[in-house]
Amino acid sequence: MTMSISVGEIFTYIIQIKLILLFSFISCALIAYVHFLWRKRKLIIKSWNMPGPLNLPFVGGAYLFMIRPEYIYNRLTRMQQDYPDIGKIWFGSKLVYFMTKPEYIEKVLGSTKLVAKSDFYQTIIQYIGEGLLAAPVPKWKKHRKIIVPTFNQKILESFVEVFAEKSLILNEILDENVGKELNILRVLSRCTLDILCDTAMGLKYDIQRENANYEYKMDKVMQLVFLKLLQIWNHIPFVWRLLGYEKKIQGYLKTLSDLIDKVIQEKLEIVMQKKNSTYIEEETKKRMVFLDYIIESNEFTSIELRDEVFIFLFAGTDTTASALSFVFAVLGMFTDVQDKVLEEVLSIIGPDKTPGFEHLHQLHYTERVIKETLRLFPVGAFFLRYVSQDTDFGDFVIPKSSHVYFGLVYIHRNPKYWPNPLKFDPDRFLPEEVAKRHPCTYIPFSYGPRNCIGRYYAMMNMKVIIATVIRKFRIHCQYKKIEDIKLKTNITLRFRDGAKVSVTRRDMSNN
């Protein structure tokens, strides 16, 4: 006797199995979500009344960033506009506050207790290493104490000669490209990397003339790090690899790692020569630089040494070059500003003299131009802090285990603190004007105990490059006003559509 099953019964069984599987999936998802709510109940309760965008189960507000990468930073800035002073968003399982009120910013950044970097920086650590930028607090305190002396005035003064020497090479490269629209960020990145290898590592290379494309690969690494940081599906290792991003980033990192290894190996050989007394006396009298200090301190493991060199080359190269690319664009847009900078440079330094340390502190207008550029285009576009303890702001409490996001473009362009914010006005940074503002309305180098230790280095470097270039070239830019410049970020701020900068030779006989 055989049992026959009709097609209708088979179809019914299939439907039942699908329903069971669907019910099981929904039940598991519901249990997981209830578990999440229970685990995060304190954060949920304490942040309940804080305004913010709609948060969906599991992903929170991460769905807002399911857009093309170049538009992500605009979405973040819009979020700050929609929730002025302070707001919140859940990014997956992480509670993130975003604040723009300067008093709130000072409370977090000025605190000696809230100096831990957010674990969002784990993505940076994964690929670039645990350098000073992202190190946990105990390591950061120990390493910063050793590294800070490498930026004292005497050492900075000795760098000016290198800044000037490398700026002249930059001029040669610009001269070869007169009248052409330049990829100015790439040209400037090669210059700043060349400078950094000499000043911070104590090694002379010819990076501006090499064709290794270090700057291009740095840019690509940061693009991919930014994608992994803010697009939540990229946190899943399988998805990240399936999209081909892991293979790409490792390819870019290989070239950069080879440079780091070369720098460290050459420096270690020099240190050994010194110890063996085979190093010529003139060399031993040379200035101590960043890499000398951290090697001779004997406080860094080989991995820590590598991490610090890696992050210094990344941060020191890219931030200064990005800032200069915006300065060049601004000078090209506003010819009256460019003429005033040139006039000041000629009056302080002269038409042919090499810039010296004694000149730099006298370039007041040039410094104001740089500061106003960094107000409108803060190259360190954002940063985050981890809240290690409940922090009372009077009207509300930010709970322990949450994170705080600072988006600098909106903070620096907030019309509440910056009248006519899109107007380029260097005189906003006259001493009497600065005194009227809260210090946390302008934080291009962060603020408080974990601010940028290289800020004076960067300012001096930029002044020398500007003074060297502007005396030989007139800078042009196709943008006509600040509103025309569309922005994106890949950790640091970028032109979405390029800088559109070109140069022509000056006839100095008319000056």
User: In whole angstroms, what is the distance from residue 221 CA to residue 226 CA?
Assistant: 9
Domains for the chain: give ranges and CATH numbers: 72-510 (1.10.630.10)
> Is the pLDDT confidence value at 32 over 80?
no
Across 207-222, average pLDDT: 89
CB of 170 closer than 8 Å to CB of 208: yes
> Is the pLDDT confidence value at 505 over 90?
yes
Maximum mean pLDDT: which of 17-26, 204-213, 281-290, 338-347:
338-347
The pLDDT mean for the chain works out to 89
> Is the pLDDT confidence value at 233 over 80?
yes
pLDDT of 117? 86
pLDDT of 3? 56
- Cα 58 to Cα 67, 92, 119, 226, 402: the distances in Å are 19, 6, 18, 21, 16
37: number of Cβ within 10 Å: 11
Spell out a b/e string for 238-262, using b for 16 or more CB atoms within 10 Å of the CB, else e: eebeeeebeeebeebbeebeebbee
Helices 302-333 and 245-275: crossing angle in degrees, nearest 10, is: 110
Across 161-170, average pLDDT: 97
Q: What are phi and psi of 226, to 5 degrees?
A: -65, -40
pLDDT tier, 269 (very low <50, low <70, confident <90, very high otherwise)? confident
pLDDT of 246? 94
Residue range 418-465, pLDDT digits in tens: 999 999 999 999 999 999 999 999 999 999 999 999 999 999 999 999
pLDDT of 285? 47
pLDDT of 272? 80
Q: Which long-range CB contacts under 8 A does 204-213 form with residues at least 24 apart? A: 208/166, 208/169, 208/170, 208/173, 209/169, 212/255, 212/259, 213/255
Q: What angle do CA 175, 179, 182 make, to 5 degrees?
A: 80
pLDDT of 1? 46
pLDDT of 33? 57
pLDDT of 363? 98
- Cα 154 to Cα 151, 200, 457: the distances in Å are 8, 14, 12
Across 382-391, average pLDDT: 93
**Listed range (93-107, 277-291, 360-374, 484-498) with the worst mean pLDDT:** 277-291
pLDDT of 323? 97
pLDDT of 509? 61
Q: What are phi and psi of 208, to 5 degrees?
A: -65, -25
> Is the pLDDT confidence value at 187 over 90?
yes
Name the pTM for this structure.
Answer: 0.91
**Listed range (231-235, 326-330, 383-387, 424-428) with the worst mean pLDDT:** 231-235
Tokens in use for 44? 């949920």
- The reply to whether 452 sits in an annotated binding site is yes
